[in-house]
Structure formats: C-alpha cells, structure tokens
Chain A
Amino acid sequence: MRSILLALLLSFSLIACTGAQGPSFSKASGFLDDDGAIMARAEREQALLEERCRFYRDPEIESYLEGLSEAILPPRFAGETSFKFRIIKNPYMNAFAFPNGVVYIHSGMLARMENEAQLAVVLAHEMAHVARKHSMRAHARRQNEEIAGSWGVAGSLGPSGPGNFDIDASDGFTREFEYEADKTAFEWVLRAGYDPHEALCMLERLKAESDEVKGAEPFVGNHPALERRIERYQVFLNGRPEKKKGLRNEEIFLSKMSRLILDNASLDLKAGRFHTASAGVGKYLRSSPNDPRAHYLMGEIHRQRAASGDVARAIEEYKLAISLDPFYPDPQEAIGIVYFKMGRKELAKRHLEACLSLAPETPDKAYILGYLKHCNR
C-alpha cells in the first residue's frame, strides 16, 4: 500500500487531499477547463498507475464484475460510460475509479467480502462517483474557489490509497461527494434487488482496517469519517419504504472469488498480517477443504507467526497437505525445517530429502543441503 500509493498520491494530487498542493492550473490559463482535458490528464495519471501496480489477472472475475456492474447501473446511465474493472494485487482494502470509468479494486477488498451484495455496493459506490462526475465537479469547484486541485481519481472506498474521499474530514467537497456516492449506491443496489444491509458490513470492515493500518499509512482513512458514513447509511436503511431483505448471492460470489481469496492470503502473509491471512485461508478452505496448497499456506502462517501452539498446528497442516498431494515439495521442505529446528534430525532429513527428490532444483536447494549436512553429522 504504502510507498507506491504515497508516490501516486503525490502525483495525483487527489481530490481528497485538498490540503495538498496540486498542479497549479489557474482559471486564467484556460488549461484543463473542459472535461476532455480533465479526462486526458486522468488517463496520463492512470497510465502511471498501470505501470506501477501489480495486477491480478483473472478474465472470469473481470467478466463477473462487468456483468454485475451492468446489472447495477440504471438504464439512464448506461451508455454514458463504459465501465472496466481492474484488480490490483494489494492485500489492503481499497477501491477507486477514474473518470473514464475504469474501476480499480484491491484484491484485499474482494477477499474480505462475503457475498455478491457487498460487491454490488462497492462497485455501485465507485460507479456512482464516475456517473455523478465527481472529478469534474470537484475540479470546477476548486477553480471557482481558485484552489488548485486535481481530478485524476474519481473516488475511493477504502481506508487508504488513491482518492480516499474520507481522508480529509475537513474537506466539505469530499464529504459531500462521498455522501452522494453512498446514497446513489444505496439506491442502485436496492433497485437491482440486493440486500442493502450488506453495505454496513463493508463499512465496518473498512473501519476495522482503518484502525489496523492507522499510523502505518500516511493517508489512512480516519475512523470518524467511516463512523459518519455508517450512521448515514443507517439513515438510508431506516428510510426505506419496504423493509424486506434482498439478494446476497453468497455461493456465486465465493465460487468466483475462491482462488483470489487464497492468492490474497499469500499477500497478507508476506505483509505479516497473520490473522487476516489465516481468515482468508480459512474462508477458502470452507469451500475447498481438500486443497493441499491452502493447507500448506495455513501451515506457513502458523510456522511464521510462531506463537504458542503454532508449531504444532503448522506440522498438522503440512502433514495434511502432504497427504493430499504426496508429490508437493513445499510442505515437505517446510515440515523438514520445523523438525530441523526442533532437533528431530531423522524426521527433518526424511522430509528434506523428499523435497529434493520432488524438486531437485528448488530455489532453496542450498539451504536444504546445509540442513542435511547438519542432520548427517
């Protein structure tokens, strides 16, 4: 999340960061006074983003997102913007959109969702920023107030990352647009038949993430702003004429996202977010309990966290992975390392040799040969 987003934030001079110095385009210059110029600038900024970000490519998920967006978007907006969806490999929760209709969603955001209704809310929120032309309107207002700002990113739902409208609580514009996007998203998902209560779940998760990354992120979303959004959303819910619950489509969602959930758990593990990684793998295992890769990853989470009871659990998970796929070298190496550290040389040797026989050119070969040398002493 951090450095690249910091760099992008600096580059984009986001709407949200109105206190920051954006490119200084005065009214007198006449530059960027029209939507076309704003779009052109946004596209340049987007090109930078595309260059710097790592993307999660899964045509099935992208197609799923596009299909869902078509179901959500009311007919009167259809045709105005062609929405595209790109998934960024990033374990932190965030989503944002460019005014040209390209919506970026972090894998961490998708992985933390439980059902299609939550996804619908997030997509609707970002699409609402685009459909309501928040970037252009924000820029126009800034020009009127002779504040140099920017317009690159249309909006963001997450606690950190480009375009988080909640970042600057003192900014009335951003709060207003955020409110409008939430309200619009509420109307759209309701109209599409989804359960609007699921939005509250997402906002609560964002709030939890915001608390977790607080201090570590320079532009982290603030807790009070998310609290306000939750309160306002509750007002929307209470004001509904009809109180029945809508679609959640949990099974469809999880079947489409299961692989992403597991892949994102690997990112969480790299980031040292053991609890989040464990939750992700656990969620995946509920639908695919016999996946050796997931059990190996669960073992890795416990081995690397190394808290009380973790080593035993890691061994258990590695054994399960090996029993599910005896030709899988990674759990053989991992359990060998655990036994090596425990001083159980015979067991360590057996598994480390198994790893080398399964993957003679493993990148960790030099380490393994070193362990085996110790075991043979």
Chain B
Amino acid sequence: MRRLLLAPFLFLSLWMFACAPSPWTPIKGTYEAPSRHYSFTAPDGWVKLNVNGNLFITKDGPFLHYVLFQEKPLEHPFQHTSKRFSPDMLPQEAAEIVLDEMRSDLALTDFKVLENGPATLDGHEGFKILFTYKDKKNLPVKCLYYGAIAGDRYYSVRYSAAESDYFEKDLETFQNVMSSFKIT
C-alpha cells in the first residue's frame, strides 16, 4: 500500500504519463475491478493505470493528483510495519495500522494527521483520514483516505493531490467517485 505513496513511483508514473507511449488508458462510466471485488463510476475525461492490482485514475497527471483504489487480503503484510489487519478490528484500530505504516515510512516527511474519524465505504464501517506530508522532492501533498475491512479483505480509496490549489480542485469529483464506490 504505502509504496504507492512514494515519490519514485510518482516519478515513474509521470514519466509514463508524459514521455513514453502512455500506458494510461481512458476510463469512462462504470468501472469494475479485474478482481470483480469493487466497482465505481469514473469521472469524465479521466484516465486509468492498473499497477499490480492497484488502480490509479487521474485527469491532470499523477504528479498533480490521483485517486488510488486498493484492496488486499487482511493477512497481506505491509511494507513498513509488521502489524496486520484482523477481521475483529474496530475501524479505529485499522486506521491506527494505516497511520503506523505511513509514520514508519521514512520517505514521508512532515507527516501530519488533520482528521481521523469513522466513515463508511459502501456502507461498511470504516474510517477516514485526512493527512499531509512532504514527498521526496519536499513538495507538500494532501491526502484524503478512506479505508474499511469488509469480510476477509481490506479496501481503501484515497485522493491525493499537490496541497496547494490542486487538492480542492477535484475534491468534489472524488466525493462523487466515493459515493459511487461499491464493494461487490
């Protein structure tokens, strides 16, 4: 999960987005994940990139903003913390693990949690975290992260953007994507 926060990936993405024959493809209407575990309605004019089962969508390029959809089995390990999810966890406890994963990621500096509270993901009890950090280039990034445990899987959807004007710009679009998100 957290590796996708890393600047190197963004550099790679940017390179793929800007310089090479683009692996990004248009996305339109209802999108169903290849795993068939979730679906959502894509905003018009956005493009997608699937990396190892993690789906990115963006309009203006991943360096400026993106929405990332992730799902994984509960027992799947994290990269920076050895903690694991378990089916009986409260949303707050799951959020705690996500935060510990990020706080233990030394590539993220100036990590600050602005909000952390309960939320639902397609009706499943989960959590919502609003946080900021500085990436490898010391650029401030703001992220709104939703997560929930549903059955034996963990789902997350996050909207990440350059903190300046970009975060607000597509926040409403993200909220529309969120309300269309279905765990299937």
Give the B-binding residues of A (Cβ under 8 A): 1-5, 7, 51-54, 90, 267, 269-274, 304, 306, 337, 340-341, 363-367, 370
The answer to whether A4 touches B107 (Cβ under 8 A) is yes
**A363 lies within 8 A of B116 (CB):** yes
Asked if B6 and A304 make an inter-chain contact with CB atoms under 8 angstroms apart, the answer reads no
Task: Give a binary string over B102-133; 1 marks a CB under 8 Å from any A CB, 0 the rest.
Answer: 01111101000100111000000000000000
What secondary structure prevails in chain A residues at the interface with B? helix
* Complex contacts, B3 vs chain A, CB 8 Å: 3
Residues of A with C-beta under 8 A to B109 = 51-52, 54
CB interface residues, B 34-75, toward A, < 8 Å: none
Complex Cα gap A210–B87 (Å): 32
| Closest A-B pairs by Cβ, 9 of them | A272-B82, A366-B117, A4-B106, A3-B107, A272-B83, A272-B81, A270-B100, A367-B92, A271-B104
Residues of A within 8 A of B104 (CB): 267, 270-271
**CB neighbours of A269 from chain B (8 A):** 100
Report the separation of the CA atoms of residues A306 and B90 in the bound assembly, to the nearest whole angstrom. Answer: 13
Assembly CA distance A90 to B78 (angstroms):
18
Can you name 29 A-B pairs with beta carbons within 8 Å?
A1-B106, A3-B6, A3-B107, A4-B106, A4-B107, A52-B106, A52-B136, A53-B106, A54-B109, A90-B106, A270-B81, A270-B104, A271-B81, A271-B82, A271-B100, A271-B104, A272-B83, A272-B100, A273-B82, A304-B93, A304-B96, A337-B90, A337-B93, A364-B92, A366-B117, A366-B118, A367-B91, A367-B92, A367-B117
Expressed in whole angstroms, the minimum distance between the Cβ of A260 and any Cβ of chain B is: 18
Write out the residue numbers on chain B whose beta carbons fall within 8 Å of the beta carbon of A337.
Answer: 90, 92-93
Which of B8, B106, B109 has the most CB atoms of chain A within a 10 A radius of its CB? B106
**CA A306 to CA B86, docked complex, whole Å:** 10
Is residue B176 within 8 Å, beta carbon to beta carbon, of the partner chain? no
B164 within 8 A of A: no
- Give, as a whole number of angstroms, the nearest-CB distance from A86 to chain B: 15
Is B30 interfacial (CB-CB < 8 Å)? Answer: no
Pair count A-B, CB < 8 A = 71
When chains A and B are docked, how far (Å) is the Cα of A367 from the Cα of B99?
Answer: 15
Report the Cα distance A323→B101, complex, angstroms.
32
Alpha-carbon separation in the docked complex, A149 to B138 (Å):
27
Nearest neighbor of A212 in chain B, beta-carbon distance: B82
Asked if B79 is at the interface of the complex by the 8 Å CB criterion, the answer is yes
Tell me, in angstroms, the Cα distance from A19 to B58 when the chains sit together.
Answer: 38
CB-CB under 8 A from A364, the residues of chain B are: 92, 116
Cβ of A1: which chain B residues have Cβ within 8 Å of it?
Answer: 106
Question: In the complex, A363→B106 CA distance in Å?
Answer: 23
- Are A5 and B90 in contact (CB-based, < 8 A)? no
Query: What residues on B are CB-neighbors of A304 within 8 Å?
Result: 83, 93, 96
> Does B165 sit at the interface, judged by CB under 8 A?
no
Given A2-B106, A52-B109, A367-B117, are A341 and B80 also a contact pair (CB < 8 Å)? Answer: no
When chains A and B are docked, how far (Å) is the Cα of A370 from the Cα of B104? 28
Report yes or no: B118 in contact with A370, Cβ–Cβ below 8 A: yes
Contacts of B172 in A (CB 8 A): none
Q: Which residue of A lies closest to B99 (CB)?
A: A270
Query: Taking the nearest CB of chain A, how far is it from the CB of B159, in angstroms?
Result: 20
Q: CB-defined interface of B1-34 with A at 8 Å, one 1/0 digit per residue?
A: 0010010100000000000000000000000000
A365 to B107, CA, bound (A): 29
Q: Which of A53, A271, A363, A370 lies at the interface centre, i.e. has the most chain B CB atoms within 10 A of its CB?
A: A271
**Which residues from A are CB-within-8-Å of B80?**
2-3, 271
Complex alpha-carbon distance, A269 and B136, angstroms: 25
Q: Tell me whether A3 and B105 are in contact (CB under 8 A).
A: yes
Query: CA–CA, A343 to B136, complex, Å?
Result: 45
B29 to chain A, nearest CB (A): 34
Alpha-carbon gap, A365 to B91, bound state (A): 14
CB of A226, distance to nearest CB on chain B (Å): 22
B90 with A363: CB separation less than 8 A: no
Given contacts A2-B79, A273-B82, A366-B117, are A341 and B136 in contact (CB under 8 A)?
no
Determine if B136 and A7 form an interchain contact, defined as CB atoms under 8 angstroms apart.
yes
The minimal Cβ–Cβ distance linking B146 to chain A, given in whole angstroms, is: 14
Roughly how many angstroms separate A340 CA and B80 CA in the complex, as a whole number?
A: 29
What residue in chain B is nearest A366 (Cβ atoms)? B117
Q: List the B side residues contacting A306 at CB < 8 Å.
A: 86
A367 to B, closest residue via Cβ: B92
Which one of B113, B116, B117 has the greatest number of beta carbons of chain A within 10 Å?
B117
| Contacts A273-B82, A337-B90 supplied; 5 other A-B pairs, CB < 8 Å | A52-B109, A90-B106, A271-B81, A364-B92, A366-B116
